[in-house]
Structure 1
Amino acid sequence: LQLQSDHCVDPGIPVNGQRHGNDFYVGALVRFSCDAGYSLSDPEPLECEPNFQWCRPLPSCDALCGGYIQGNTGTILSPGFPDFYPHNLNCTWMIESSHGKGVQFTFHTFHLESPHDHLLVTENGSFPEPLWRLTGSTLPPTLSAGLYGNYTAQIRFLTDFSVSYEGFNITFSAECGSSVTGMQGVLLSPNYPGYYGNHHECIYSIQTQPGKGIQLRARDFRLEDDDMLKVFDGSSNQARLLGVFSGSELQDNTLNSTSSSMWLEFISNAENTSKGFQLHFT
């Protein structure tokens, strides 16, 4: 006796993923997606063919070694997570957020072989001199990369030929405002040169060499009349107020600090928005 079937068998669900569609008749399409941080090995749907077989094997959801991530939120996982990561890895992730926004990294899992396996975080591609070099099993604090000038952060994961652990699970989100250290640089309003959004409360902090002042010049400055930029001569909003600016009041003007720090607060309301600002400091 041979049993007749009019549908394909259940194709299953990828580990760390989901299936979309529960009809398995001939001609039915079943699609799949992956949890945050995982990539689908084959994005094409499965089709139940006339011979009651699926057209291809079940795809997998994999944590990949590096990649380019564009967006204001996301997840970065060590390869193989939550299983132990492979040996001899050299993985680089580039994260690009909206213009004028920094990126905040939050660590949910972190366990590397210390000191041989490590994670490097930088914002200018300079891995020989990273912002942070992380290893071991202590959960790092929340980290922020300023991203002014190139709007990207980079993470590199390096492992050796021996012991491995479960690795890391990191989420990131775009943050407006940042802390900038250096002799010169550029500050941009969120999404510049596009229009900034509503309900922003962005803090920008500039720190230069001790004993040096800061000169801030607005190359472009267009705010709605009820939105404002406050500029303080120091390292907090308790310092002397240099001015509160709306509309085009700061356009082509220059502000000078008497200290080696400057603190800026950008506030937008729920009404109309505008192009924002491009500020250069030296």
Structure 2
Amino acid sequence: MSQRLTVLVICLLLAARSSAQQPNERHQFTCGGNLTGESGVLGSEGFPGVYPPNSKCSWKITVPEGKVVVLSFRFIDLESDNLCRYDFVDVYNGHSNGQRIGRFCGTFRPGALVSSSNKMLVQMVSDANTAGNGFIAMFSAAKPNERGDQYCGGRLDKPIGSFKTPNWPERDYPAGVTCSWHILAPKHQVIELKFEKFDVERDNYCRYDYVAIFNGAEMNDAKRIGKFCGDSPPAPIVSDKNELYIQFLSDLSLTADGFIAHYKFRPKKLPPTTLAPVTTTTTTTTSPKPTVPLCQQKCRRTGTLESNYCSSNFVITCTVLTALSKGGSVTVSIINVYKEGTLAIQQAGKSMSAKIVVVCKHCPMIRRGLNYIIMGQVDEEGRGKVFPNSFVMNFKTKNQKMLTTLKNKRC
């Protein structure tokens, strides 16, 4: 266990004991339990040691009547997976597993999670394989109408509306806040979302302050539309169905102006009407042009860095970590992200990785241990996809200047 983690655990336990005025005794984290009071600490079984395999633990949190639960993860280290299918922590409103607030795994630490009542359920599930140190979190009670610096967000279900960061536009948003908005339209309608102004602490990977937008009603990396920061507003967004979930998070350091966003509901575009075929006596001798199957096409990238940038869903520079699998996928270690799109990026400390699927085996050829520029599209599971004509080339330092220029250019 790292020295930093040891210090964190000690500080959290001392804070919890001090607030509860308990005697100075060694705290042991067990598999689940009932937690009551104004505040407290919970952690995975055996934390900070490695959590056991094949377990399911549930913690029921209850704060005084008339208040809501605020849960803050201070450390999380679970088996990493794009869809959190193996080891994960679920957080629910109330004491049943009905309305889920979010599912988390890997080392992604969410901001504060707020229940809609005085009860919250936390469940951790582990499978038989890879494990980590688990998690530690603190809960506290808050007034439900306390909508100031710490408790912003909410449910938006009017046909037209807007939302903004705390303090907008008078001053910068505060440090250490999380705001979550759930926009819900009637069935068979979709949501158009536009940011009028946008200024969130800039970082190449949006690690510190950011806005994350998801299709659906919860945080789910498989349905993440994008993660945004900096001073350029995201392009207008249209939901897949009738729900969007937006999370804004700021860390404990630098802040900025923030943002204001507007949304509206609109009907889904109807499919074009199919007209009955018109009978005609005209004949033609032109035969259809034969199509070449995808994986029999020439294995040759088309265009240039510049011409491919805007049409690509993601643009990264990376080092290939694994050989091509039977399913045609490789794992890459990311050097830099120039365009993230909906690519699912896993972060552990300062290192980031992603899965890339080569649709046609060995076309383009991607070798383990080499550095590449990869431009491509993304599938429904957040994996990058490259085709025979995708722009993939060996990465050299001299390419950085052009990529940086393209990143700062609006498509």
One fold, TM greater than 0.5?
no
Higher strand share: 1
Higher helix share: 2
TM score, norm. by length of structure 1: 0.43
